Amino acid sequence: MKNLKKISTTILAVIFMAVYCLPIAPAAKAATDAVLSFNQSSVSVETGDTVTLVAVVDPGTNEVGAVELDVTFNPSVLRLDSITANSDDFPITLADATIDNVGTGDTDGNGSIDVGSLTEVFTTDTNVATFVFTALAAATDSPVAFAATSDASAHGEYVVLTRTPSAVTVTDPEEPGDTTPPTISNGTPSGELAIGTTSTTISVTTNENATCKYASTTGVAYASMTGTFSTTGETTHSSSISGLANGYVYKYYVKCQDGESNITASDYKISFSVDKSSSKKKEVKKTKRKIYNSQKKLRQGETLVQRGKRFSKNSNVLLYFSKFGGGYYAPMSITTSKSGTFSVSYRINKPKGTYSWYAVDTKTSKKSKTKTYRVR
């Protein structure tokens, strides 16, 4: 064979050639019409994937008994990990597999193996060896080719006419797209609007650019919502609502969709009402503020709970607590619930004596009565 230096031992080569020269069955004169190719003429993979190419010999009109493979490739695109002979058909390794992944040019990498058979010859397409690569970098039609030294032997004559390469295309994996729907917050208005309000502006904000819609009933699919915010598309969304009437509660259910078509799964609710009470009746109601102590008498170390009710809803109340010896501390601010109540608790560490406290509704500037308790 061409490149006999690749044969592992001189003895093996002598045995191999002797068998093929035995005059047991006269062989036809070799014709240079064999073909070396890969089982895949082109391959498309992503970076990090494995590329498996099987070298195949088509003997043409010959009886092939040995094959020498020298394969070149671009080592900046592919890394050759292994070469495995087809031991079923070519059980004799004439030259061990060698791999060289050094270099940056299109043909700097190479891998070689020489194989043969002492028991039979091949006249049909036969797998010779398997080359396993790892894709390293993006490239289009990066060639894996047979060098000119790749050949096949038929009774001592070289018979390869055509060497067909494989083209490997490598792409980078696609980055996962945005799959998170917008987050909706800061819905307005809320609570109770003043009596006589006939229109208002509903609004929400999102954590990313989005298009928002609304419906007056819950559970409506985004595509079926007929109310679209008149100002939308970015992170602030608003729309004017008219036709409001005293004494009614209004609820709007909002969904938003971002530029990647991610839609909020659940409704975001905006809820408010319009007051139906007259100003006079409201004022009477507001004057009935009450505060309470959980205990009238208690000892140091015990917990005192102080409560208030009938204050402005969702509003601030200032609590004034008396000091030992006279005067009051700076007020403590607390927010009432949606029903106008509040509650504070703390462990008593004041000296023995009588103490007082009161609350001021900041929305109406109305002050509660003063309540006292005694520390024994």
Which of these ranges, 5-14, 159-168, 190-199, has the smallest mean pLDDT?
5-14
State residue 10's pLDDT score.
Answer: 37
Q: Which pLDDT tens digit goes with each residue over 36-95?
A: 999 999 999 999 999 999 999 999 999 999 999 999 999 999 999 999 999 999 999 999
Does residue 217 register a pLDDT over 70?
A: yes
Token pair in block for residue 52: 């498996």
State residue 1's pLDDT score.
Answer: 43
Which of these ranges, 5-19, 97-111, 223-237, 325-339, has the smallest mean pLDDT?
5-19
Cis upstream peptide for 59 (omega within 30°):
no
State how far the alpha carbon of 180 is from the alpha carbons of 183, 206, 261, 265, 309, in Å.
9, 12, 10, 10, 42
**Which domains does the chain show, CATH number per domain?**
4-171 (2.60.40.680), 184-276 (2.60.40.10), 282-375 (2.60.40.1930)
What is the CB-side half-sphere exposure of residue 341 using CA atoms within 13 A? 6
Per-residue HEC secondary structure of 107-123 comes to: CCEEEEEEEECCCCCEC
Does residue 14 register a pLDDT over 50?
A: no
Torsion sign (Cα): 229, 230, 233, 235 = negative
Which of these ranges, 103-117, 123-137, 349-363, has the smallest mean pLDDT?
103-117
State residue 6's pLDDT score.
Answer: 37
Q: In what order do the strands lie in the sheet with 342-347?
A: 290-293, 303-309, 342-347
* % of the chain residues with pLDDT over 70: 88
Which pLDDT band holds residue 177 (cuts at 50, 70, 90)?
confident
Give the DSSP H/E element, type plus range, for residue 11.
helix 10-21
Closest to 344 (Cα-Cα) out of 292, 276, 277, 288: 292
Torsions phi, psi of 305, nearest 5? -110, 130
State residue 278's pLDDT score.
Answer: 56
pLDDT averaged over the chain?
Answer: 88
Which pLDDT band holds residue 28 (cuts at 50, 70, 90)?
low
For residues 372 and 291, what is the distance between their CA atoms, to the nearest angstrom?
10
Beta pairing class for 184-188 and 199-206: antiparallel
